Structure formats: structure tokens, C-alpha cells
Amino acid sequence: MRRTKIVATLGPASIGSDRLGELIRAGVDVVRLNFSHGSPASHAAAAAMARELAQAQGRTVGILADLQGPKIRIGKFGNGPITLAPGQPFIFDAACKSGDDTVVGLDYAELPQDVHAGDELLLDDGRISMRVERIVGGAIHCRVLNGGVLSDHKGINRRGGGLTAPALTDKDRADIRIAADIGADYLAVSFVRNADDVTLARQLLHAAGGHAAIVAKIERTEAIAELDSILDEADAIMVARGDLAVEVGNAAVPAHQKRMIRSAREKHKLVITATQMMESMIDNPVPTRAEVSDVANAVIDGTDAVMLSAETAVGKFPLETVRMMASICEEAEREIPFGPEIKRGKAASREQSVARSAVFTANNLEVKAIAALTQSGMTAQLMSHLDTLAPIYALSPLASTRGKATLFRNVYPIDFSLPSHDPAEVLAAAEASLKRHGAVDDGDLIVLTIGEPIGKEGGTNTMKIVQVGEARTA
């Protein structure tokens, strides 16, 4: 079974019951709603369709709502795209309404206050670069370093970061309410600067009645320096390599990615690796060898999930891309060393102690599966970062918990309600549920975690070793 989860962005190439149903069948675990595009109605319809199709296949699919964030863009050109040559002077001026080959407007009027002479500005994901020569009022006078074709509304960044635009725009605040209405399982916050941005997003989400887990997208230079505090506040991070590469440079991204994955695992937080993972498959039915290695390395490093963006949103081969990514993940996972030892150290909580015990036991016995009977999903999440060959099943009556578990590495959610508070009946029902899902057969050993007394709130405190089908009494 594939342990690493696949997040797929929905768009014209993947919306539609037949296409989306095929993608879920091929292995999509979480669908991403990109709030940079679409309407509230289209997002709600896509989320409902994904859940319905997954349920028809006996699965749960998570919903990730991804906020646009403060995309800083240039304005429009009066006569279409222009071509810039190295050495050419060029001006950015918020007062300009119709650009030409000498000047263009800005949708972020504060940019002149954020930059200084000598700064390097990057446009269109770094394809075009300019050196700031001087600031005159609200106009930024530059000299082109690397030229090319520049068209309307392209993004603009400063090399090294430092732009003061807040992480949450007015549009984002409205979209948070939409995400809450949809019942999104995850809310991704773009261009996070520090832990305060995560805190604010969570407050706004809760005020709107939402309970999604917060994903902090790490794509600003400032966020790298604040990574530990961001991880403490967020539920997950996304290694958002596109804008991050523009700010810190392409060469710095791989090392940052490895550090982010390692730090997230150490803090028992989730991590998604994203951007251009299978970019060539937008137009081609097979990936490059470099893309295969990129995905495999993220898996071996321990990422919880790998994400597809344009590949499944607008690409020509969305189904082939998901199948290929699933295959790469499975091959890479065969190279991950699994051993009987669990990293030593003091457990931070009762749930963590039980999680360690369950995985240690599973790794030292021929255990077919680990079953976590859970309300919050916390024990299953803690076990997901302790390497084990045994699949972990999160048995929960709560749709919100099952939705979140779709992103946990090596965890598979199952809809399960307690038949009673009688331990023997609960165990028999859990075994029956696992058997229905093809997870176990009579005679198999399973490790089960549960909170006792059964039905009483208080968290997981018990681990049992059980033989499926064994006669037992309460």
C-alpha cells in the first residue's frame, strides 16, 4: 500500500464526475481547491462532487482550500505584451493605467516604500529581472538585467524577500468564510511571514465556524527564519517551491526543503511538498527522469504528501500523472529502511507514549495492521511519523477527523461508530470493519489503540495486541 499521500489540484482538466472519479480511483487522497481561480459556487460544487465520488468508492478524500494571498502583480499594457532587452530602462508606477515598453502600473501601491536602489526585482516567476536604480515619488526606476516577453498581471518579487504585504488580503478573509461553509479539512495560508499570520487565519476560520487544520505555505524568505515558530503554531506546512525559489534562488531550495521536512517530522506536524513536481506532464504523457528523482527524494525524506498543481488542473494527462506519481511513491517507499527500533526520548504526552508503544510492537511482531479508534485523529497522526511497515487505520465516527487523516502518511481513514461501550462488542465491530475493507483476515495479529473507559472523553490511553477472530468475552 502506498504510504505517501497525493494532493491534486482541481481545474478544467479534472472537474467532471468521470474524470474526477478516475483520479480518485488512481490514488488521489486530497483535492486542492485553488482560490486564486473559480467562484464560491464552483468550489462548493467541486468539494461536494469529490466527497460523493470518494464515498461511492468506499474511500474518504480530503478537501484542501488554498488561499490566494497577496499576489503582487503589475498592471496591464495598452497594446499587448512587450519585449524587454538587457540594459533597457523601465519604470513601475502605480499611477500608470495603461502600460507600454517604458512603464507599467502596479496593483500594490506600497511597493516603492518596500524597495531601495540596488534591489533586484523578479517578474514572471523569475524569468525577467531588473535592478532598481532610484525611487522618484511613487515610481520605481529600473534597469533590465534579464529580458524577455512581459504581459499583463505578471507577479513581481524582490530578491531576498522583505515585502510588507500582509499574508491575508480582504479576498482571503472572504474566502476563509467560504472554506468554512464548504467544510474544508485543510486551509492553506499563502505567503505566511510568521506565526502571527497562522494565528490570525485560525481565529478568522473559527469565527466563521470552520475547523480545518491550518497549512502554512513557506514561500517567503522571512518564513524560513521563522520556521520553528510557524511549525509550533500551524498544523502543517507546505514547501511551496515556486515563489520560494524566486525569493531565495533555485539553488537554495533543495536544502530548505530537506530542513522543512525534517523539522516538521520532529515536531509531529504534517508537510506537503509542492510545485513543479511533474511539470513536464502538463504536455507530455511521461515525466522527465529529474522529476521522478524529485518526487522520490521527497518521499524518502519523509514528506507526508506530494502535490500536483497545473498537472491535474489544466494538463493534458491528469490521469497518467496521478498514476505515475503513485508508482514513483511506491517504488521510493521500498527504499525506506524500517527497523524495530523507535527513537528514544521522553514522550510529550500520553497519546505519544501509546503511539510509540504501538509502532514498536508492530515492528517487532508480525502485525498485519494498526487500528486507532480515535475521535481527534491525534494518535494516528503521531504514529504516522514513526516508520512502520504496518498500515495504520484511523477508525473514527467523525467526518472531520477522517478528512484530516487523508493527509497523514501511512494512515487510512475508516468510518466507524461505537456499537456500545462494551469492550468485547467494540473490538468485534472494529475487527469486522477492518475485514470489510480487506485490511485483515481471521488469525491476523493487529495492534489496537483506544481510550478507556470506552465512550468517555479523555484521549487514547490503551494499546492492545489482538488476534482477529479470537473468541473473547467482555
Per-residue pLDDT averaged across 411-425, rounded? 93
373 shares a domain with 457:
yes
Please state the domain count of the chain: 3
pLDDT tens digits along 30-55 = 999 999 999 999 999 999 999 999 99
The last residue of a domain, from among 285, 304, 333: 333
213 shares a domain with 305:
yes
289 shares a domain with 175:
yes
pLDDT, residue 453, reads 85
324 shares a domain with 462:
no
pLDDT, residue 162, reads 85
Query: Is residue 358 a part of any domain in this protein?
Result: yes
Per-residue pLDDT averaged across 464-471, rounded? 88
Positions marked active-site: 32, 73, 217, 275
| pTM of the complete model beyond 0.85 | yes
Task: Examine the pLDDT at 340 and tell me if it is beyond 80.
Answer: no
pLDDT tens digits along 130-169 = 999 999 999 999 999 999 999 998 989 999 888 888 999 9
β-strand pairing of 103-104 with 89-93: parallel
Domain coverage including residue 441: 350-467
Task: Examine the pLDDT at 412 and tell me if it is beyond 70.
Answer: yes
- What sign results for the dihedral spanned by CA atoms 233, 236, 240, 245? positive
Per-residue pLDDT averaged across 116-123, rounded? 96
104 shares a domain with 218:
no
Query: Is residue 345 a part of any domain in this protein?
Result: no
309 shares a domain with 266:
yes
Q: Note if the bond before 413 is cis, omega within 30 degrees.
A: no
DSSP 362-431: HHHTTEEEEEEE-SSSHHHHHHHTS--SS-EEEEES-HHHHHHHTTSTTEEEEE---S-S-HHHHHHHHH
pLDDT tens digits along 351-360 = 889 999 999 9
Per-residue pLDDT averaged across 335-339, rounded? 74
